Amino acid sequence: MFKCKTVWNKLAPLARASSMLCLQNARKSALRHGRRLEMVQKAQMSSGSAGGGGENTLYYVLIGATCLGAGVYAYRTVSGDKERYNERMIEIASRPKQDQTFLCFAHSVALEPVAEEPLVTEADVESTETEPVAEAPVTEPIVEASIPEPTVESPIREPVVEASVTEPVAEAPAVAQSEEPLAPVVESEPTPVIIAEHVPEALSGSESGKTADSKAAPAAEPVEPTAAPSDVPEHAPYLLIGGGTASFAAARSIRARDPGARVLIVTEESDLPYMRPPLSKELWFSDDPKAIETLRFKQWNGKERSIYFQPPSFYVSPADLAKVENGGVAVLTGRKVVHMDVRGNKVKLSDGAEISYEKCLIATGGVPRNLQVIDRAGEEVMKRTTLFRKIEDFRSLEKISREVKSITIIGGGFLGSELACALGRRSTDIGLEVIQMFPEKGNMGKVLPEYLSNWTTEKVRKEGVSVITDALVKNVTYKNDKLEIKLKDGRLFKTDHIVAAVGLEPSMELAKSAGLEVDSDFGGYRVNAELQARSNIWVAGDAACFYDINLGRRRVEHHDHAVVSGRLAGENMTGAIKPYWHQSMFWSDLGPDVGYEAIGIVDSSLPTVGVFAKATAKDTPKAATEQSGTGIRSESETEAVAGALKAETTATPPPIQQEEDYGKGVIFYLRDQVVVGIVLWNVFNRMPIARKIIKDGEQHADLNEVAKLFNIHED
């Protein structure tokens, strides 16, 4: 096609000149013989007139000469171009092997900048290794595009087509096809610019001195940027985002109702689902030196247990999830869901992989807060600060506690007080100074009434902790290998390491992409009574903001809530349609001797009524776990216990003892004279009774009578 075009461009001017010459001769002849033009035309078409015959002969001669000359010119032009082409091929073949590879690679990048599937196969790579010159014609259009020769493009493509016939290489026809879209590129000459933009990206990470054989394989990398890893399934009927307690409870509930269910848990952590409470409690009191690695600990009742809910053998491989006969639960670790397409029912992971789903649970939990003064303090301060939440945080802090001389815990809530007691108890043995500071007047001052908070503070001090109350941190600096904590009242403390235990922020990163509603008051995803955020999306655990029919909208950050809400969400994902009416409980232990359980709204700003009695040897967390047989007390809860325990309250209790030694007791939290929260202080296995009191929502004239239900006066 290009040959014909070139020949036509050469012959067309000659043909037009010949036609004009013939027309002029005809007009002259007509004037010379005194005839009209029409008669001359008729004479030329006949064989009568001698003068007309001569003119026709001249016309035929001119036309023949023109055609012959054009043919000779075309032949010489094509022959010359072919000779130049062969010389160019010889020149390219004589270049170093490195230059050839660079041009071939650059051309492949310019050809396929947005290819969705790799066009470079293993066969292409082998062909490049065995025939290094076979792809030279492909690079030629790019090199010659910058040479201002008007006839270059036609001979360049001609040898490529011929090569597809004569060359035995199997890839040659594919290369010939790929030349078609290049036609406008060569004519407008933007090709050198494309090479300059793409080649550095394609060659990034490669040595410039590598040979063509070593560079041929990486050419396939740019065309597979979003290829899913082999261990990531493309589809999961039940997709659970987050690998904490709520996700595992949901997975177990789904499998219980649908034995053949295929459940995939995606977690950002590198560990299988595990329980978090022992990280700040029992693990610190273990006598086993291997407990840090094995994460096995002894409960207060002496029984050994693993922090993991199930061993690895319980789970199936994510790659085999779709193939196992009876379904199962798979855990995809070290992956984070960064985007949700709720219309397409799929999620995108941090590595670019996508997973489609039918039902989805968001149980992402939360991330620990940090003080702004620490965030602004600089890298050296951040390197010496622990935000305690995960297994690696526990292992890191345990190691640090054996290497430094001083640790300061900022925070007086559940986590801060538990860690202070745990570190304080071992401080004497390892020579560690433990400081706990918080803005309240006593430990757990936001939860417990002031008198009980003060008593708890003295208990923590007896564990070997220097408790600093009314402490508002102004700034933190790093000087002379020490962290200096300056309070707003001017007090200055020096320490080696800081543990920030100042609360939790619910993880809501998926709210924007998923279009889910976030509660502006409590945080978390707003859900309905069935824990649904959308028709096929549920939320459980710390990230769920649910409506409590007794207490209003709430968000709870405790183990029991994660267990129960996860279990209910799993049931509803299989079609149960159950409302969440459970009053979740939480507990905290200040060592094996002092512990409490709570339910409902426990806020020290509310009016409280406390009823206490003298404690006995069985009124400790250790004794409670020995009786229930489990270290996670919420696991032994059942609603049926309420009736049995209520029947034991017939005996008249002895007089109430209000002593400063608050051995055991019940604290009622009131709102509009209705009990909305209860704390059981060293009183265990009575939570179903407390739950029923809150559920009834009645006003009580004498809470001392209500306290009798908990049998706190029994010996």
pLDDT computed for residue 583 by the predictor: 86
pLDDT computed for residue 127 by the predictor: 39
* Residues 282, 633: Cα–Cα separation, whole Å: 13
Mean pLDDT within 531-540 = 96
More confident residue, 34 or 624: 624
Choosing among 3.20.20.70, 1.10.1060.10, 3.90.180.10, 3.50.50.60, the CATH entry for 235-275+310-368+506-574 is 3.50.50.60
Tokens 């990280």 locate to 279
pLDDT computed for residue 369 by the predictor: 94
pLDDT tens, position by position, 505-516:
999 999 999 999
- The answer, yes or no, to whether residue 394 has pLDDT greater than 60, is yes
- The answer, yes or no, to whether residue 372 has pLDDT greater than 70, is yes
Mean pLDDT within 425-442 = 92
Give residue 38's pLDDT band: very low, low, confident or very high (50, 70, 90): very low
Where do the CATH 3.50.50.60 domains begin and end in the chain?
Answer: 235-275+310-368+506-574, 369-503
Give residue 685's pLDDT band: very low, low, confident or very high (50, 70, 90): confident
Q: Which secondary structure element, helix H or strand E, spans residue 672, and what is its range? A: none
Mean pLDDT for all residues in the chain? 76
Q: Is 404 exposed, middle or buried (0-12, 13-18, 19+ CB in 10 A)?
A: middle
CA geometry: angle at 685 spanning 681 and 687, to 5°?
75
What φ, ψ does residue 418 adopt, rounded to 5°? -65, -45
- The answer, yes or no, to whether residue 113 has pLDDT greater than 70, is no
pLDDT computed for residue 5 by the predictor: 58
pLDDT computed for residue 586 by the predictor: 86
* Residues 567, 244: Cα–Cα separation, whole Å: 13
Q: Is 263 exposed, middle or buried (0-12, 13-18, 19+ CB in 10 A)?
A: buried
pLDDT computed for residue 397 by the predictor: 96
**Which of 47-56, 439-448, 681-690 tops mean pLDDT?**
439-448
Amino acid present at 307: I
Q: Which residues share a beta bridge with 523?
A: none
Task: Report which of 621, 600, 281, 588 is spatially closest to residue 414, judged by C-alpha positions.
Answer: 588
pLDDT computed for residue 384 by the predictor: 96
Q: Which secondary structure element, helix H or strand E, spans residue 239, and what is its range? A: strand 235-241
Q: Which residues share a beta bridge with 265?
A: 240, 331
CA geometry: angle at 475 spanning 473 and 476, to 5°?
105
pLDDT tens, position by position, 261-305:
999 999 999 999 999 999 998 899 887 888 888 999 887 667 888
557: number of Cβ within 10 Å: 17
**CATH code for the part of the protein at 369-503:** 3.50.50.60
pLDDT tens, position by position, 152-209:
343 433 333 333 333 433 333 333 333 333 333 333 333 333 333 333 333 333 333 3
Task: Report which of 644, 563, 602 is spatially closest to residue 275, judged by C-alpha positions.
Answer: 563
Q: % helix / strand / coil in the chain, to the nearest 5?
A: 45, 20, 35
Q: Quick one: tokens of 441?
A: 């007047």
Task: Report which of 415, 429, 401, 417 is spatially closest to residue 460, judged by C-alpha positions.
Answer: 417
Q: What is the DSSP string of 280-309?
A: TTGGGG---TTHHHH-EEE-TTS-EEESBS
Nearby residues of 425 by Cβ (< 8 Å), 6 or more positions away: 284, 285, 463, 464, 591
Give residue 20's pLDDT band: very low, low, confident or very high (50, 70, 90): low
pLDDT computed for residue 26 by the predictor: 55
Q: Is 101 exposed, middle or buried (0-12, 13-18, 19+ CB in 10 A)?
A: buried
Query: What is the bridge-based pairing of β-strands 537-539 and 532-534?
Result: antiparallel
* Residues 492, 477: Cα–Cα separation, whole Å: 11
Q: Please give the model's pTM, rounded to 2 decimal places.
A: 0.65
CB 522 within 8 A of CB 545: yes
119: number of Cβ within 10 Å: 15
Task: Report which of 38, 183, 10, 152 is spatially closest to residue 85, judged by C-alpha positions.
Answer: 152
More confident residue, 481 or 35: 481
Write out the CATH class of domain 585-710: alpha beta
What φ, ψ does residue 434 adopt, rounded to 5°? -115, 125
- The answer, yes or no, to whether residue 481 has pLDDT greater than 70, is yes
Give residue 27's pLDDT band: very low, low, confident or very high (50, 70, 90): low
CA geometry: angle at 304 spanning 299 and 307, to 5°?
80
pLDDT computed for residue 66 by the predictor: 84
pLDDT tens, position by position, 216-240:
334 334 434 444 456 899 999 999 9
* Residues 76, 56: Cα–Cα separation, whole Å: 31
pLDDT computed for residue 552 by the predictor: 87
CA 433, distance to chain mean position in Å, is 39
Give residue 3's pLDDT band: very low, low, confident or very high (50, 70, 90): low
* Residues 643, 627: Cα–Cα separation, whole Å: 19
pLDDT tens, position by position, 83-100:
777 777 777 766 554 444
* Exposure b/e, 169-184, CB count within 10 A at least 16 = b: bebbeebbeebeebee
CA geometry: angle at 268 spanning 262 and 270, to 5°?
90
650: number of Cβ within 10 Å: 7
CB 142 within 8 A of CB 110: yes
More confident residue, 255 or 142: 255
Where do the CATH 3.30.390.30 domains begin and end in the chain?
Answer: 585-710
* Exposure b/e, 534-553, CB count within 10 A at least 16 = b: beebbbbbbbbbbebeebee
